[in-house]
Amino acid sequence: MRALLVGAGGMGRTWAKNLAESGDAELAAWVDIREGAAAQAAEELALSPEYTGQDIEAAARAVSAEFVVDVTVPEAHKQVTLQALSMGLPVIGEKPMAPSMAEAKEMVRASEQAGKLYMVSQSRRYNASIGGYRKLISQIGELGILNADFFIGAHFGGFRDEMTSPLILDMAIHTFDQARYLSGADPVSVLAEEFNPPWSWYEGDACANAIFEMAGGLRFAYRGSWCSEGLHTSWEGSWRAVGSKGSATWDGADGIRAQVVRQTGGFHSEFDEVAGSPLPVKEGIAGSLEEFLQALRSGSTPQGECHDNIKSLAMVFAVVESSRTSGRVTIEEMMA
C-alpha cells in the first residue's frame, strides 16, 4: 500500500525506515513544511520516494496515495489529519493525538464523517515483554491494584525544559495507555498532584503522583519524575499488579514474575513462583504499522483507533486539571 509520509524530523525518518522495510507498504511520497527537508532526508537515508515536497494534496494526487502517516509536531496533527481524511485517506499518526481535548474530539468526528480509519500509534504496546506481562497478569485472578513507577533524570534541553507539565504532557501518555492495555479497563476518574523539587532543571512540574479509578473498581497508581538522578527505572516503567489470586511484577525490561496462591491458611498463604516470558511480536513502530495495514485490509479495529486512544489522552489532561484544581476529575468531564 502506497504511503504519504508527512514530517521529516527525527521520528519522520524513523517511520520512513519502517515503511521501507515493510513488506506491505511503500514510501511513495514524503512531504514536510520546510522546503527541501523531505528530499534531503530521503537522500540521506538512500530512499527514493516518487514525490517529495511541501504540499500534502499535491503529493497524494501525484502518487495515488492510499494512506497518510502523520509524524508532524502535535500542534499540526489536527490540520494534517483533517486534510487527509477530507481526501478520503486513512491516517496513522504519532502520539499524542492532539495538544487539547477539543482538537482531539474534532479529529474523532472527522474520522466518523469521512468513514475512514484514524489510528494513533501507541508503539509501546508492541513490546515483547509487556505482552508477556499482560499474559501473566491474567493468571492472578481479578485485578484490583495496578501500580507504575517512572523515575528518570532526563536532561533533554530545549522545549521540554520550558513546558508547564513536561512529564505528564510529553511522556505519561505512554504509561497511562500501557495501564489500559495491561488491565483491559478504561479510566473513570483521577486525583492527582504535579510538583517540582527544588533541584529540578525544568521550569514546569517534572513530577507527579496520580491515583486513577478504573472501570470495575480497579485503582491504578502512577508515580513519576523526569528529574530523578540515579536508580532509574526503565523507560517502560516498573510495574506491580495485585489480583485476587496473587501478584505480578515487571521491571520494564525482561524481569517478569508472579507469585500465585497455592494454598491459603495460616498467617501467610503459600505461593507458587511463576516466571513470565516475552511474547514473539513485531515491536515498536513496525508493530503498529503492521496492525494498521491489517486493519485497512480486513476492516478490523486496531489498537490505537481514535475512539479508543482518546481515552488515554483524556487521562493526561485529567491529571493536569486535577493538579490545577486540587480535586477529583472524571474522565466523563474531559470527554464531554
First CA to last CA across the chain, in angstroms?
A: 36
When comparing pLDDT for 212 and 264, which is higher?
A: 212
Where does residue 100 rank: exposed (0-12), middle (13-18), buried (19+ CB within 10 A)?
Answer: middle
**Residue 235 near residue 152 (C-beta atoms within 8 A):** yes
Superfamily of domain 127-279+314-335: Dihydrodipicolinate Reductase; domain 2 (3.30.360.10)
**Residue 210 near residue 190 (C-beta atoms within 8 A):** yes
Q: What is the share, in percent, of the chain residues with pLDDT greater than 70?
A: 100
Report pLDDT for 177. 97
DSSP readout, 21-59? H-SS-EEEEEE-SSTTHHHHHHHHTT---SEEES-HHHH
Domain boundaries, the chain: 2-116, 127-279+314-335
The confidence band for 266, taking pLDDT boundaries of 50, 70 and 90, is confident
Separation of alpha carbons 64 and 60, rounded Å? 6
Lowest mean pLDDT segment, chosen from 46-55, 272-281, 289-298 = 272-281
Average pLDDT rounded to a whole number, residues 173-184: 97
Candidates 89, 90, 108, 88; CA nearest to 98 is: 108
The confidence band for 297, taking pLDDT boundaries of 50, 70 and 90, is very high
Yes or no: domain 2-116 corresponds to CATH 3.40.50.2300: no
Report pLDDT for 32. 97
Average pLDDT rounded to a whole number, residues 109-125: 97
Average pLDDT rounded to a whole number, residues 214-234: 97
The answer, yes or no, to whether residue 208 has pLDDT greater than 90, is yes
Q: What is the pTM assigned to this prediction? A: 0.95
Residue 187 in grid coordinates: 479510566
Report pLDDT for 265. 82
The answer, yes or no, to whether residue 264 has pLDDT greater than 90, is no
The full length of the chain comes to 336
Q: Which residues contact 57 (CB under 8 A, 6 or more apart)?
A: 83, 87
